[in-house]
Amino acid sequence: QVLLEESGGGLVQAGDSLRLSCAASRPTLGIYAMGWFRQAPGKEREFVVAASRTRASTWYEDSVKGRFTISTDNANNTMYLQMDKLKPEDTAVYYCAATSIILRTAMVAFNPRKYEYWGQGTQVTVSS
């Protein structure tokens, strides 16, 4: 069992930056990948970005490429999401997720059902 806790959300203006953190309750050995999803009101949860623990594989959703960057600090069991050039359409609750399942393709990585562990979410609101 891995407990995940997000932090760093908030209210910002379009063009601003935020950094989200996801702290795991134990070392992530045995976890294949960690990532971020988001869910806007009235919409389904959608994939944002994920990376394998070794960083051998990284997947980004097209709308965040060049603006968002995932990073991990395995020594401190923490994952980060640096979000730059934020847009109002980035407004959502952002969830940290982790999985021991090997994500062999982007299609698999994008599927929230492949992730076994989830945080409670942190709200990001971007005003225009």
Summarised one tens digit per residue, pLDDT across range 39-78 is 999 999 999 999 998 888 999 999 999 999 999 888 888 9
Between 125 and 25, where is the model more confident? 125
Burial readout 16-30 (b: 16 or more C-beta within 10 A, e: otherwise): eebebbbbbeeebee
Check: CB of residue 19 under 8 Å from CB of residue 10: no
What span, in angstroms and rounded, lies between the C-alpha atoms of 23 and 26? 9
Q: Is the dihedral of CA 72, 76, 82, 88 positive or negative?
A: positive
Burial class (CB in 10 A: 0-12, 13-18, 19+), 59: buried
**Sorting pLDDT into bands at 50, 70 and 90, what band is 21?**
very high
What span, in angstroms and rounded, lies between the C-alpha atoms of 62 and 98? 21
| pLDDT of 17 strictly over 90 | yes
Structure tokens at 62: 């097209």
